[in-house]
Structure 1
Amino acid sequence: MPRKNDDSASISKDSKQAIDPVALSHALTQAMERALPLIQDYMERRGKDAALDALDPMLVMQERFSAFMGVLMSNPRRLVELQLEYWSNWAQIWQNTMQKLNGEKIEDLYKPEPGDRRFRSDDWNENVLFDFIKQSYLMTSGWMHRVVRSTEGLDKDMVNQIDFYTRQFADAMAPTNFVLTNPDVLRETIKSGGENLVLGLENLIEDMERGHGELKISTTDYEAFKLGKNIAATKGAVVYENDLMQLIQYEPTTKDVFKTPVLIVPPWINKYYILDMRPENSYVKWLVDQGHTVFIVSWVNPGKEHAQKNFGSYMHEGVLDSLTQIEKITGEKSTNIIAYCIGGTLLTITLAWMKANGMENRVKSITYLTTLIDFENAGELKLFTDRKQIEAMEKEMRENGVLSADALQKTFAMLRANDMIWSFVINNYLMGREPFPFDLLYWNEDSTNMPCAMHSFYLRNMYLENKLIQPEGLDIEGVKIDMRNIKTPAYFLSTREDHIAPWKATYSGYSAFTGPKKFTLSASGHVAGIVNPPASKKYCYWSSAENTPSPEKWLEHATETKGSWWTDWQNWIVDFVGSKVAARVPKDIIEPAPGRYVAKKAD
């Protein structure tokens, strides 16, 4: 269980008073003596053979770094300039430190970026030794970034990849990640006599075993959440299923409901219940409470038997089968569809296909949540989708039938390494604490596999070749897909801090859309900006009637409104919901929500 800090064990803020080396040495010795049997026991149980990650990105990055070093070494003058800059920075930090040792109150030369939570402890600012370590690290990591960005002779994609992996190295080498250079860990080690490190090693071994020999960092208390009990608990029923999905219909909470039903098409990279977490932040429950008849697709967690499921399969067995069942259940001939992330990409393809086949009237309106249609500037995920990396993924998928959920999870964790990797390394392994229960992190860990045929198509045609935005660029079952033909009214919702679907990239898809449309920008990120109930009174959103091609100009003219975008959407959707009818209760029930498919864990 987490232990409270004891101020009596705090490191002196007087920089001239040294940390007691005897106490520290004793604590570390005790920790090592107790840890050795744990290490030996683990190694004996694990055996000698350890699995290697076939998708290790550094295997792909070797030639990029070689090319980078070649270009750097070919310009000796520039290399000397960079070295002189580095040593000049060191000299300035040293001078700054000497002034602080003499009692002068002066500003740091190097400060953490806004949002960088690694250096929150007072010791990083008030203890001159740790202040020196902090500034040295921040200067060095910033210098490494500038070296990569300022090197000429490399293409943009290569520079972005090298910069990303350089940042991964810099994040890993942060002083906060090591016992002797993290004041909070030092304090805990001295106070507990090294018990924190022993407990941390136990946590580490448990996580290695949980990952079957690979480190799978625990980010939350997995026993604290039960599907259908305290998450994904909105009352409903599975009313249809096929090999690829279950269709859930939710019980009404109002006497009357809007005539036109709502279908939610979530992403299948994670599970649908991000939109149905706790009652107080459930988007699904909120929609039901507004008087909508809500259906949601719960995608299967695919196995080898789903290897040949392709985008056409997801279109037919996902969206089109759902529409058919909703029409049978409600008697309505058209549905309002909300699609999230890759679900929106699928919906765009489906709508263009339906238009070509004369079925577009089955959809009354569409809502895109953080959806990429134009993948030209698709953010840091493009760093993992060059031709060689896609070929490596395809090789694994051909062997296993799927891309493993673990591979995807590692990728997403790397995008926010300090928050999603190193903060837990410190808490779990250095401080020896258990992670706190957090529903969002439980969902984040409950990831899914990707079928070979579908994922290969997605990576090549979207991220690599960007065909969806091109007129008739895609071919689905002999039908040329042209999103310009979609005239269904659309509401686009993006989030300003989204690192998975950057809002300016999603705005490009909005600009290419030729039907009636509205763009709204929410504060926060890919998940928190979406799951933001009005009752929380958090964040804000921007809206504008401008349809300028420039996202920057759109934002200049946009009006900021405090609170949740959910209410703005509700005001927009009223034109497409029809009159009120008697509430619809699920019938012909297969099983209660959330159903079997969502409960299946990745192998």
Structure 2
Amino acid sequence: MEQQTIDAPGLAQMQHWTRVIGLAQQRILERSADLVERAMRFRSLEAHPNLEKIAEIQAQMANRSMALWEQFLARAGGSEGGEGEAPSQADLDRRFADPRWRDNPVFDLIRQIYLLASEFLLQLAENVDGLDSREKEKLRFVTQRFVEASSPSNFPFTNPLVIERTIETRGENLLTGLEHLLADIDRGQLTHTDGSAFELGRNIATTPGKVVHETPLYQLIQYAPATPDVMATPLLIFPPWINRFYILDLNPQKSFVKWAVDQGLTVFMVSWKSADAGMADVGLDDYVLRGQVDAIDVVRSLLGVPAVHAVGYCVAGTVLSATLALLAARGEADKVASATFFTTQVDFSQAGDLNLFVDDEQIALIESLVTEGFLDGRYLAATFNLLRGQDLIWNYVVNNYLLGNDYPQFDLLYWNGDTTNLPARWHRAYLTDFYRDNRLVQPGGLVVDGTPIDLSRVETPSYVQAGIEDHIAPACSVWKIMDHFTGPRRFVLAGSGHIAGVVNPPAAGKYQYWTSEAAHGDFDAFRAHAKETRGSWWPDWIAWLKGLDPTRVAASGARIPGEGALPAIEDAPGRYVRQR
């Protein structure tokens, strides 16, 4: 079908657009006044706008808005002023990447008014004095979320792509989008991908293995060896219980599990049970003792080995640090030969935007969402999506609801929407004890099974991985493990963020990582001296692991799932990962 175009306005329309630009400028001023008023409520009379700076910003914005208007008039009159200028950073915004946002002067004006207003609002948020650092961050966060939500790309009559699609399809796109919207309302969750395209055990989470141990809290998966001999010390992975474990086993090309097996590791994976009413009272002791310590002891006993290499991802890494501290206090530290931490925080003093969700008001709100002793994982998924609202919310609002596009088939997005419920007691304790009160790094601040724990007693060799673009566990926050542990530590900064920074197979040839063989006092010093290496950090990790103990044994007997003292219960990935 021939593409529809929207002509530039004629002279008869100029009065209309003069009124539009005037109203737009008025809305900017009204919104800025409202924002300042809201900001002042944070600390009553202590919070106040920096009137001198705001007046300066208003003058700058007035001049720039007049320049926009003059540019619009020139284009409407047939001039192409500004042609040949290099694109600004704002012009590279993915929301407005389509040339139709610039080719048509009306939509170019709408786009630029929005970008100008957004800049104005964000600058106003920066110029409210009398707020402490936490309140200032909250004001920035709320303002940024408002700016994202109010983008003209998110509305059908201010988005040229939606208008053209509506003309081309005679409105069928909006009907399809309505069907998508109603289906998402029924699910209580924004859909990112075509879920019917994926099936656990068929084209996702496909690494061969067996469930060999099961408790009310977790299933233990043992993967089949792929080499004639294997490293003597097995690998035990603790994924976060706020997500499904198969982020580390998406497909054979991306799977960390398969890659680790191919390197000659005997790999075990913990698959946590999604919380139900029977897990209402599950807490830190359960995840440490009946989760991690139990799994460590089961693997050691099954294979007849003194220790395991442990991996903890995100929150599971946080709890792994508590497990290591408990084992050290009990004189059992040698049960873990090494610990690897993927994007893990133990010190939450610089924990990023998630810290904005752990004041008393936010915790009370979360508790109001609890039913039958557990928190529905969809609420937590919505929070994480909000941290990257443009990428994980509004992008899909436009594509799914306004353009009526078919859902893409993307395994990572399927995993992202596969939510897990959380025990209410544990989730509240995690927010208060770890995020809000930062008790994990206080010697004796937390007690596990009657034993006060102290991270400074952890001497286990540790590999600490962070993502340079991580918005959930900022790299500077992950670094703090280096400040609290006292054993051998290696810090690796990976390209990308919380997921892609971890799941980066060498064959993909993507991103990079930074390392430094020298000791550094803080994260900034590490960044200043670290050496960049192109590609995946996985080879660096396996080299580090082999350097601890290169001993290998035959891949036979108990090294084969189900052929040792623990018979196979069922095929991987098991039924816990399928429970909702």
Q: What is the TM-score with the length of structure 2 in the denominator?
A: 0.90
Q: How far, CA to CA, are the matches of 1:392 and 1:337 in structure 2?
A: 35
Q: How far, CA to CA, are the matches of 2:312 and 2:93 in structure 1?
A: 32
Say which SS state the counterpart of residue 325 (structure 2) adopts: helix
Q: Are 1:369 and 1:494, in contact at CA under 8 Å, matched by a contact in 2? A: yes
Identity of aligned residues (%): 41
Q: Are 1:366 and 1:490, in contact at CA under 8 Å, matched by a contact in 2? A: yes
Q: Are 2:71 and 2:81, in contact at CA under 8 Å, matched by a contact in 1? A: no
Say which SS state the counterpart of residue 258 (structure 2) adopts: helix
Shift of 1:107: 7.1
Q: 1:15: which partner in 2?
A: 8
Structure-to-structure mapping, 1:45-56, within 5 angstroms: none
Shift of 1:429: 1.0
Say which SS state the counterpart of residue 279 (structure 1) adopts: coil
For residues 452 and 258 of structure 1, do their structure 2 counterparts lie closer, same or farther at Cα, with a shift above 3 Å needed? same
Q: Deviations over 1:433-454 (max 9, x none)?
A: 2211110011001111111221
Q: Are 1:110 and 1:139, in contact at CA under 8 Å, matched by a contact in 2? A: no
2:104 matched to 1:131? no
Q: Are 1:487 and 1:514, in contact at CA under 8 Å, matched by a contact in 2? A: yes
Q: 1:407 pairs with 379, 393, 399, which one?
A: 379
For residues 188 and 72 of structure 1, do their structure 2 counterparts lie closer, same or farther at Cα, with a shift above 3 Å needed? farther
For residues 79 and 259 of structure 1, do their structure 2 counterparts lie closer, same or farther at Cα, with a shift above 3 Å needed? closer
Q: Are 1:72 and 1:79, in contact at CA under 8 Å, matched by a contact in 2? A: no
2:282 matched to 1:309? yes
Shift of 1:208: 1.6
Shift of 1:272: 0.4
Count of aligned pairs between the two proteins: 548
Structure-to-structure mapping, 1:179-578, within 5 angstroms: 179-211=156-188, 216-397=189-370, 399-578=371-550
Q: Deviations over 1:134-163 (max 9, x none)?
A: 111111111111101111011211121122
Q: 2:61: which partner in 1?
A: 86
Q: Deviations over 1:60-102 (max 9, x none)?
A: xx98673379777776666555544432331132233344442
What residue identity is the alignment partner of 1:529?
A: G
2:144 matched to 1:167? yes
Q: 2:561 pairs with 575, 578, 586, which one?
A: 586
Q: How far, CA to CA, are the matches of 2:461 and 2:356 in structure 1?
A: 33
Say which SS state the counterpart of residue 418 (structure 1) adopts: helix
What residue identity is the alignment partner of 2:561?
A: P
Say which SS state the counterpart of residue 129 (structure 2) adopts: coil
Q: Are 1:65 and 1:162, in contact at CA under 8 Å, matched by a contact in 2? A: no
Q: How far, CA to CA, are the matches of 1:17 and 1:354 in structure 2?
A: 77
Say which SS state the counterpart of residue 104 (structure 1) adopts: coil
Q: How far, CA to CA, are the matches of 1:465 and 1:209 in structure 2?
A: 37
For residues 580 and 114 of structure 1, do their structure 2 counterparts lie closer, same or farther at Cα, with a shift above 3 Å needed? farther
Q: 1:97 pairs with 53, 61, 72, which one?
A: 72
Runs (5+) with no aligned partner, structure 1? 1-5, 21-61
Runs (5+) with no aligned partner, structure 2? 14-36
Q: How far, CA to CA, are the matches of 1:511 and 1:338 in structure 2?
A: 19
Q: 1:53: which partner in 2?
A: none
Q: How far, CA to CA, are the matches of 1:340 and 1:174 in structure 2?
A: 35
Say which SS state the counterpart of residue 493 (structure 1) adopts: strand
Q: How far, CA to CA, are the matches of 1:68 and 1:301 in structure 2?
A: 40
What residue identity is the alignment partner of 2:5?
A: I
Say which SS state the counterpart of residue 281 (structure 1) adopts: coil
What residue identity is the alignment partner of 2:518?
A: E
Say which SS state the counterpart of residue 518 (structure 2) adopts: coil
Say which SS state the counterpart of residue 222 (structure 2) adopts: strand
What residue identity is the alignment partner of 2:98?
A: S
Which region of structure 1 is more displaced relative to structure 2, 530-539 or 541-550?
A: 541-550
Q: 1:51: which partner in 2?
A: none
Q: How far, CA to CA, are the matches of 2:149 and 2:101 in structure 1?
A: 18
Shift of 1:15: 3.1
| Runs of 4+ residues over 4 Å off in structure 1 | 62-65, 68-82, 106-115
Q: Deviations over 1:256-290 (max 9, x none)?
A: 11110000011011010000010111000000000
Q: How far, CA to CA, are the matches of 2:359 and 2:366 in structure 1?
A: 11
Say which SS state the counterpart of residue 479 (structure 2) adopts: helix
Q: How far, CA to CA, are the matches of 1:171 and 1:578 in structure 2?
A: 51
Q: Are 1:369 and 1:492, in contact at CA under 8 Å, matched by a contact in 2? A: yes
Q: How far, CA to CA, are the matches of 1:564 and 1:165 in structure 2?
A: 35
For residues 393 and 206 of structure 1, do their structure 2 counterparts lie closer, same or farther at Cα, with a shift above 3 Å needed? closer
Q: Deviations over 1:225-278 (max 9, x none)?
A: 001110111100010010100000000111111110000011011010000010
What residue identity is the alignment partner of 1:401?
A: G
Q: Are 2:47 and 2:131, in contact at CA under 8 Å, matched by a contact in 1? A: no
2:574 matched to 1:599? no
Q: How far, CA to CA, are the matches of 1:107 and 1:446 in structure 2?
A: 47
Say which SS state the counterpart of residue 92 (structure 1) adopts: helix
Q: Are 2:222 and 2:561, in contact at CA under 8 Å, matched by a contact in 1? A: yes
For residues 106 and 97 of structure 1, do their structure 2 counterparts lie closer, same or farther at Cα, with a shift above 3 Å needed? farther
Which region of structure 1 is more displaced relative to structure 2, 125-134 or 246-255?
A: 125-134
Q: 2:27: which partner in 1?
A: none
Shift of 1:357: 0.6
Q: 2:131: which partner in 1?
A: 154
What residue identity is the alignment partner of 1:599?
A: R
Q: How far, CA to CA, are the matches of 2:435 and 2:92 in structure 1?
A: 29
Say which SS state the counterpart of residue 142 (structure 1) adopts: helix
Shift of 1:17: 6.8
Shift of 1:204: 1.4
Say which SS state the counterpart of residue 237 (structure 2) adopts: strand
Q: Are 1:111 and 1:135, in contact at CA under 8 Å, matched by a contact in 2? A: no
Shift of 1:116: 3.7
Q: How far, CA to CA, are the matches of 1:67 and 1:75 in structure 2?
A: 15
Q: Deviations over 1:539-580 (max 9, x none)?
A: 111110122122122112111111100001011000234421
Q: 1:32: which partner in 2?
A: none
Q: Are 2:91 and 2:97, in contact at CA under 8 Å, matched by a contact in 1? A: no
Q: Are 1:108 and 1:135, in contact at CA under 8 Å, matched by a contact in 2? A: no
